[in-house]
Amino acid sequence: MTEAAEQIAILKLPLAEAHERLGAEMLVQNGWFVPANYGDTLLEYASVREGGVGLIDLSPRGRILVRGSEAVSFLNGLITNDMKTLAEGRWMPAAFPNVQGRLIASVRVVRLNDEQANQTDTADLPQPGTQKNLGPTFLIDTEAATHQAVMRTIERFTLAGDFRVLDVTEQTVLLTVQGKGARSKVLSVLGEAAAGLKTNEALQTSWQESDVAIIHATHTGEDGFDLIVNAPEASRLWDALHTAGARPVGYDALEILRIEAGIPRYGTDMDDTNVVTEAALDEAVSYTKGCYVGQEIIARIKYRGHVAKKLTGIKFTQAVMVKAGATVKSMDNKEVGRVTSTTYSPYLGRTIALGYVKYDYLASETEVKVTAERGDVETRIAELPFVKREAP
């Protein structure tokens, strides 16, 4: 294949046939064919937001294993949160910054169970076992848009110590069940241990002789569980969850849900022009861990005051036509920000948006104006998330 052809190749999900059988309309996003919807976006949205449970294929997200005796110190030199404080069976948010403190990627780092994870040097997905201990093992989960950037950042240092890096994205599948009923579906399919996970906890277990990593996490503001399984076994797990009553949900509904949950998306709401703390990623930053790439800039901003602008919510009083890139103005017509994402929220019955706003205008309920299709519309700043009902 030529280099030009490689650049335009679109990846197909391991579960593509399952999505097509369910009537999915496919779209291309970040180099993957993904299901936009299964025929009724609002019904899919409601299955998550109104007390049910949705089933979403998040396999395009990057999944990278880092393991070895020096994995903790290696990662601590590259990311914003403190790996020394991350216990086995837990996860934390973090970010990869560049030397200017600007965002390369927002990630989730899972500390796998060392005894189970270190079974072999070639495993695609950590599985139960008690073979030679190869040191702490971390699973880095990041958006599809930042997958390759994270790999490039890590691979620059792969010969610098006792650790090993393994990209398992195309060998595994990531499914998520989201909604008030997520726990009950996980209980019925995967058992009590999986359903008993609390916020920021993770578990490696076996299901029908298949090894599954389970992470308690939300992508929607509702309760949720992420399930990582080797690709050949993924169809059985998808079918089991679907049969148990989880409704397949496409990326059109997911986009509404993630904006309501105030979750920024790389390339849309944040990129490498943003300092990490501008992108509302405060929980991803430790100010006590010591040095890492970009640390001096990020710490200086905190201790000398604050960021000049920050990602925040913007809520309208009704449905209005607002596009990403729209200008945010003060009530005396000063330009104070811009919109990055916008959607109509069925749950709130109004248009909502994410956007960057200057620090002096960030207080909740501050009145501002946004340039809409038919002129400026008065609106207010809103705290994020717009909707949050995640179970403990």
Q: What is the pLDDT of residues 163-172, one digit of tens each?
A: 899 999 999 9
Cα 166 to Cα 87: distance, rounded to the nearest angstrom: 21
What Rg value do the Cα atoms of the chain yield, rounded?
21
Q: What is the pLDDT of residue 128?
A: 45
Question: Region 63-92: what's the mean pLDDT?
Answer: 96
Confidence band of 156 (pLDDT split at 50, 70, 90): confident
Question: Region 225-232: what's the mean pLDDT?
Answer: 98
Q: Is the pLDDT of residue 332 over 50?
A: yes
Q: Is the pLDDT of residue 226 over 50?
A: yes
Q: What is the pLDDT of residue 272?
A: 97
| In contact, 340 and 359? CB cutoff 8 Å | no
The pLDDT mean for the chain works out to: 92
Q: What is the pLDDT of residue 383?
A: 96
Question: Region 7-30: what's the mean pLDDT?
Answer: 93
Distances in Å between the alpha carbon of 69 and those of 72, 81, 134?
Answer: 8, 19, 7
DSSP annotation string for 238-281: HHHHHHTTPEE--HHHHHHHHHHTT---BTTTB-TTSBGGGGT-
Q: What is the pLDDT of residue 307?
A: 95
- pTM of the predicted model as reported, rounded to 2 decimal places: 0.93
CATH class of 308-392: mainly beta
Beta bridge partners of 265: none
Q: Is the pLDDT of residue 207 over 80?
A: yes
Q: Which residue has the tokens 């703390």?
A: 277
Tens of pLDDT, residue by residue over 242-292, are 999 999 999 999 999 999 999 999 999 999 999 999 999 999 999 999 899
Q: Is the pLDDT of residue 118 over 60?
A: no
Confidence band of 385 (pLDDT split at 50, 70, 90): very high
Question: Region 32-36: what's the mean pLDDT?
Answer: 98
Q: For 1-306, which CATH superfamily applies?
A: Probable tRNA modification gtpase trme; domain 1 (3.30.1360.120)
So where are the chain's domains?
Answer: 1-306, 308-392
Tens of pLDDT, residue by residue over 126-140, are 454 444 557 899 999
Chain centroid to Cα 128, Å, comes to 26
Phi first, then psi, for residue 137 (nearest 5°) are -125, 130
Helices and strands of the chain, counted as H and E runs: 11, 20
Question: Region 149-169: what's the mean pLDDT?
Answer: 88
Task: Give 156: exposed, middle or buried? Use CB within 10 Å, 0-12, 13-18, 19+.
Answer: exposed
Q: Is the pLDDT of residue 200 over 80?
A: yes
